[in-house]
């Protein structure tokens, strides 16, 4: 189960295995089963898992035929217990140890997260493994051929390693040829065979070079799943946010296990996981890498959902009370400053830095709190008005954040009219759907494309037999949900901002 071994009685099924192992599992997601029929290990492994006293990272050989790669393959077992010799902002070195390499004088160009053998003082008896943290040049005494490998996961471990830390083990990552049966299923009654390998989730490590892309990833997978909308021989993709424009941040090869997003053109907003090696693309920004469960990704089927776990987990304080946010930041060792409404019962509607990576790279986060009376809980009707809610969530910010923003345009009698700051009606269609026959107090209405004022949002505090919540005829109105605390509207006037927090019907 996810790399751990368990013994079960004969005739056990998937549900039994999940219960006994207490494996991470989300109801409704697929589970992968691999039944290996023959042990066909690749003759030459290209990936290696390096375990250190501060965590593990994985490397991939760039060219198995190069002298440096052959040197690694022949002596990597000798690197156990080798310590960190030095670390700087640009690189880190494990060593020393002796080799038969022939050092070459002169600077060596290193790309970020690449590895080479370096000889301190030009002496092969003083060889080190150099791991680059940044793109830089330095005189490492490296032989011809330069870098021989690249870091493909565990990049955050480099910043934690220091003198005194050491390598604990190095293991080749075995690539199994297609020598077994595999299925991806949501049926937990499937019987298991002895030796089955079961996968219930995929772990993804976020790249620190893609803070905006990380937030996009967190938004798409907010429910803890990756929707498999398309499967090809090269990738699987989730199309839930297709049409969204994402900041391009990280130009990197899309190696096996890379998680990337299309940032421009047709298909912008599609989220991908690569299942083979592909070159870098100016249209695709790499935002992370699979660190566990790539076998599961390969066997997943179109129409399924797979459970996702990310490292780091998102830091999203919006919608939390000031008190809860303070406690969470204290647990993470991060300082927090509350502005605006500072009482413990206040709700947070803004955080700076806005991204998880931005917060983790600093030591302080500033949040804006509001009086609880300024935040209104709503329930949305996804089953009745899915297209309109796609527009609405984009327009008010609920697509990315748990708290939406609705500026009040005008109030009159028992009616409140809102105009979202983001003009999503320019790229999101609002076809008529869920047309009312009567407006009920607290219902949220959106003016559809039949009317000139498409995209307006409205609420009435009393029932109305003639007009919709935005003051339009019923035929021009789509009902998308309701406000659960209608009495709070009395606190708002023209020009105010109402913050909204969505609550699902299951809560």
The pLDDT tens digits of the residues spanning 433-463 come to 999 999 999 999 999 999 888 999 999 999 9
Check residue 63 and give its pLDDT: 86
Evaluate if residue 35 carries a pLDDT over 90.
Answer: no
Residues in the chain: 507
Check residue 413 and give its pLDDT: 86
Check residue 89 and give its pLDDT: 92
From CA 233, how far away is CA 306, in angstroms rounded? 18
pLDDT band at 105 (very low <50, low <70, confident <90, very high): confident
Give the predicted TM-score (pTM) of the model. 0.77
Evaluate if residue 76 carries a pLDDT over 80.
Answer: yes
Check residue 38 and give its pLDDT: 53
Check residue 143 and give its pLDDT: 79
Nearest-5° Cα angle at 258, 254 to 263: 70
From CA 250, how far away is CA 163, in angstroms rounded? 30
Query: Token pair for residue 275?
Result: 């299942």
Q: Which of 200, 491, 205, 199 is nearest to 374 (CA)?
A: 491
What are the residue ranges spanned by the domains of the chain? 14-20+181-311, 47-172, 322-370, 374-502
Class of domain 47-172: mainly beta
Q: What is the mean pLDDT of residues 476-502?
A: 94
Evaluate if residue 333 carries a pLDDT over 60.
Answer: yes
Query: Token pair for residue 135?
Result: 């793109």
Per residue in 215-227, is it b (16+ CB within 10 Å) or e — as a string? bbbbbbbeeebbb
CATH assignment of 374-502, among 3.40.1160.10, 3.10.20.30, 2.40.100.10, 3.40.50.1220: 2.40.100.10
pLDDT band at 172 (very low <50, low <70, confident <90, very high): confident
Longest dimension (CA), the chain: 90
How far is CA 298 from each of CA 183, 231, 257, rounded to the nearest angstrom? 10, 9, 10
pLDDT band at 192 (very low <50, low <70, confident <90, very high): very high
Evaluate if residue 505 carries a pLDDT over 60.
Answer: no
Evaluate if residue 44 carries a pLDDT over 60.
Answer: no
Query: Token pair for residue 99?
Result: 């080799």
Check residue 41 and give its pLDDT: 47
DSSP state of 422: S
Check: CB of residue 422 under 8 Å from CB of residue 410.
Answer: no
pLDDT band at 254 (very low <50, low <70, confident <90, very high): confident
Evaluate if residue 96 carries a pLDDT over 50.
Answer: yes
Q: What is the mean pLDDT of residues 483-492?
A: 92
CB atoms within 10 A of CB 480: 27
Secondary structure class of 74 (helix, strand, coil): helix
Report which of residues 371 and 103 the model is more confident about: 371
Q: What is the mean pLDDT of residues 116-143?
A: 89
Report the percent of the chain where pLDDT is more than 90: 66
Query: Token pair for residue 296?
Result: 């599961």
Evaluate if residue 377 carries a pLDDT over 50.
Answer: yes
Quickly list H helices, 24-75.
Answer: 67-75
Domains 47-172 and 374-502 share a fold: yes
| Partners of residue 321 on adjacent β-strands | 347
SS (H, E, C) 251-294: CCCECCCEEEEECCCCCCCCEEEECCCECCECCEEEEEEEEECH
The full DSSP string for 104-145 is --S-EEE-TTEEEEEEGGG-GGGEEEEEESSSEEE---PPTT
pLDDT band at 174 (very low <50, low <70, confident <90, very high): low
Report the percent of the chain where pLDDT is more than 70: 96
Evaluate if residue 430 carries a pLDDT over 60.
Answer: yes
CB atoms within 10 A of CB 173: 15
Report which of residues 88 and 104 the model is more confident about: 88
**What is the radius of gyration, based on Cα positions, of the chain?**
27
Evaluate if residue 354 carries a pLDDT over 50.
Answer: yes
Q: What is the mean pLDDT of the chain?
A: 90
pLDDT band at 179 (very low <50, low <70, confident <90, very high): very low
Evaluate if residue 421 carries a pLDDT over 90.
Answer: no
Q: What is the mean pLDDT of residues 28-57?
A: 79
Check residue 108 and give its pLDDT: 87
Superfamily of domain 14-20+181-311 in CATH is Cyclophilin-like (2.40.100.10)
Nearest-5° Cα angle at 451, 446 to 455: 35
């Amino acid at each position: 189960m996810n790399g751990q071994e368990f013994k079960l009685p004969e005739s056990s099924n998937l549900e039994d295995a999940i219960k006994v192992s207490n494996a991470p599992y989300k109801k409704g997601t697929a589970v992968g089963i691999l039944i290996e029929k023959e042990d066909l290990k690749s003759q030459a492994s290209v990936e290696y898992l390096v375990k250190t006293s501060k965590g593990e990272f994985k490397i991939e050989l760039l060219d198995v035929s190069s002298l440096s790669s052959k040197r690694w393959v022949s002596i990597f077992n000798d690197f156990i217990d080798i310590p960190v010799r030095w670390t700087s902002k640009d690189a880190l070195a494990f060593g020393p140890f002796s080799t038969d390499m022939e050092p070459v004088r002169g600077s060596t160009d290193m790309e970020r997260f690449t590895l080479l053998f370096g000889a301190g003082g030009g002496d092969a008896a003083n060889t080190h493994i150099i791991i680059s943290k940044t793109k830089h040049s330095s005189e490492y005494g490296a032989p011809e051929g330069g870098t021989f490998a690249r870091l493909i996961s565990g990049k955050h471990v480099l910043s934690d390693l220091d003198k005194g830390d050491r390598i604990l083990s190095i293991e080749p990552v075995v690539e199994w040829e297609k020598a077994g049966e595999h299925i991806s299923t949501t049926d937990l009654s499937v019987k298991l065979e002895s030796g089955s390998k079961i996968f219930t989730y995929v772990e993804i490590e976020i790249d620190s070079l893609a803070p905006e892309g990380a937030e996009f990833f967190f938004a798409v997978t907010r429910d803890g799943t990756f929707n498999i909308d398309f499967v090809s021989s090269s990738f699987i993709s989730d199309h839930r946010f297709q049409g969204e424009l994402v900041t391009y941040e990280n130009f990197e090869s899309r190696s096996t296990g890379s998680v990337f997003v299309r940032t421009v053109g047709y298909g912008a907003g599609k989220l991908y996981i690569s299942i083979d090696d592909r070159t870098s693309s100016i249209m695709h920004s790499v935002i992370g890498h699979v660190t566990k469960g790539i076998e599961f990704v390969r066997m997943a089927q179109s129409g399924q959902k797979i459970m996702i776990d990310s490292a780091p987990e998102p830091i999203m304080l919006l919608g939390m009370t000031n008190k809860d946010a303070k406690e969470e930041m204290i647990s993470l060792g991060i300082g927090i400053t509350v502005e605006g409404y500072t009482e413990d019962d206040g709700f947070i509607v803004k955080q700076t830095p806005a991204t998880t990576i931005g917060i983790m790279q600093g030591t302080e986060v500033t949040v804006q709190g509001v009086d609880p009376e300024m935040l209104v809980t709503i329930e949305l009707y996804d089953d009745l008005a899915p297209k309109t809610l796609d527009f609405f969530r984009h327009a008010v910010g609920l697509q990315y954040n748990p708290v939406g923003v609705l500026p009040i345009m005008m109030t009159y009698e028992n009616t409140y009219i809102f105009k979202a700051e983001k003009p999503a009606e320019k790229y999101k269609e609002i076809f008529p759907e869920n047309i009312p026959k009567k407006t009920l107090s607290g219902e949220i209405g959106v003016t559809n494309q039949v009317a000139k004022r498409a995209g307006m949002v409205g609420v009435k505090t009393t029932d109305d037999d003639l007009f919709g919540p935005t003051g339009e005829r019923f035929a021009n109105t789509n009902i998308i949900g309701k406000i659960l605390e209608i009495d709070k509207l009395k606190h708002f006037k023209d020009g105010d901002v109402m913050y909204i927090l969505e609550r699902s019907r299951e809560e």
